[in-house]
Amino acid sequence: MTDGPGDLLEFLRRRLAGDYEIDEFGFDADLTDTVLLPMLRPLYRRWFRIEVSGIEHVPAVGPALVVANHSGTVAMDAVMTTVALHDEHPAHRHLRMLGGDLVFRAPVIGELARKGGSTLACAEDVERLLAAGELVGVWPEGYKGTGKLFRERYRLQRFGRGGFVSAALRAGVPIIPCSIVGAEEIYPILGNAKVLARLLGLPYFPLTPTFPWLGPLGAVPLPSKWLIEFGPPIPTQDLGAEAADDPMLVFNLTDQVRETIQQTLYRLLLRRRSIFF
């Protein structure tokens, strides 16, 4: 947040001289707070008019794992959750997102993702982040969630292999279910051009009412109304680290988190008057 031309100049000086710090994951707090978040804020406030509830369930300090549903063709929901936690939480927490390797393979996107606080969704990185006391965000549906068709909206896909639950158990950190309504409608996927996707090496190639027909204009997201709710934390500390090696317990806990998010989504959908208001 810059307050005047002086701060902006100081920021530019820091950038040009390289006088800023990054952490071992490549998170650049200076760039995130001064450029990335302010750029996303208009989208968050004016375009999607995001309403957040249950922010008090997110701890002010220390590690926690935020688990959310995934949708909307691109990971806009992840980015908006990050803005929500920074702007609405009294402690202005930075959410450290976990992304697929495709994100880090891509030029520009991969670079910005790391600088914005993302890292690869792998057990080593989750453990390292949680051990460092960070707030970690995971979208276990992965590409299956973002790439699903519009008619399957708000129906949760498989929650991976429960890797996130094992990670939380090993670190003994609470799991915070997060339900996001609104991202499903920003780019409604009517079809998937599988041949094109395979040619481009992508998990799917979305065909929406506007994309790719309108070119760059088709990349403008629809201004749906968003609701984000953080649920009560599910503690894992009492279960002990060895519980991570109990597949039955991991499966049950994964299902519990998934079911909580699914029920919350239905409740939030009833609360939202229409897709756009």
Q: Of 235-274, which residues contact another protein (CB under 8 A)?
A: none
* HSE (side-chain half, CA atoms, 13 Å) at 166: 15
What is the distance between the alpha carbons of residues 270 and 57, in angstroms, rounded to a whole number?
22
Which of 124, 242, 245, 259 forms a contact with another protein (CB under 8 A)? 124
Among the candidate windows 22-30, 43-51, 162-170, 242-250, which touches another protein by CB under 8 A? 22-30
- Binding to another protein by residue 120, rule CB under 8 A? yes
Calpha distance 47→226 (Å, rounded): 9
CA 135 and chain centroid, separation = 12
Q: Give the binding range for another protein (CB under 8 A) out of 6-14, 35-43, 73-81, 165-173.
A: 6-14
Of 26 and 54, nearer to another protein (C-beta) is 26
Closest listed residue to residue 276, CA positions, set 217, 202, 239, 221 = 221
Q: Is 6 in the site for another protein (CB under 8 A)?
A: yes
Q: Tell me: does residue 203 bind another protein (CB under 8 A).
A: no
User: Which H, E and C letters describe 30-88, residue by residue?
Assistant: HHHHHHHHHHHHHHHHHHCCCEEECHHHCCCCCCEEEEECCCCCCCHHHHHHHHHHHHH
Torsion angle defined by CA atoms of residues 6, 7, 13 and 18, in that order, rounded to the nearest 10 degrees? 170
Residue 13 C-beta: closest distance to another protein, Å: 4
Sign, CA dihedral 37-41-47-48, equals positive
- Considering the rule CB under 8 A, would residue 107 count as an interface residue with another protein? yes
User: Can residue 9 be called a binding residue for another protein (CB under 8 A)?
Assistant: yes
**C-alpha–C-alpha distance, residues 248 and 238, integer Å:** 17
List 34, 69, 81, 119, residue binding another protein (CB under 8 A): 119
Judged by CB under 8 A, which of 29, 35, 102, 202 binds another protein? 102
Q: Is 201 in the site for another protein (CB under 8 A)?
A: no
By CB under 8 A, tell whether 122 contacts another protein.
Answer: yes
Nearer to another protein, 31 or 80 (CB): 31
Taking CB under 8 A as the rule, does residue 25 contact another protein? yes
CA distances from 202 to 71, 148, 151, 216, 269 (A): 16, 14, 21, 19, 30
Where does this chain bind another protein (CB under 8 A)?
Answer: 4-6, 9-10, 12-13, 15-26, 28, 101-111, 114-115, 119-120, 122, 124-125, 128
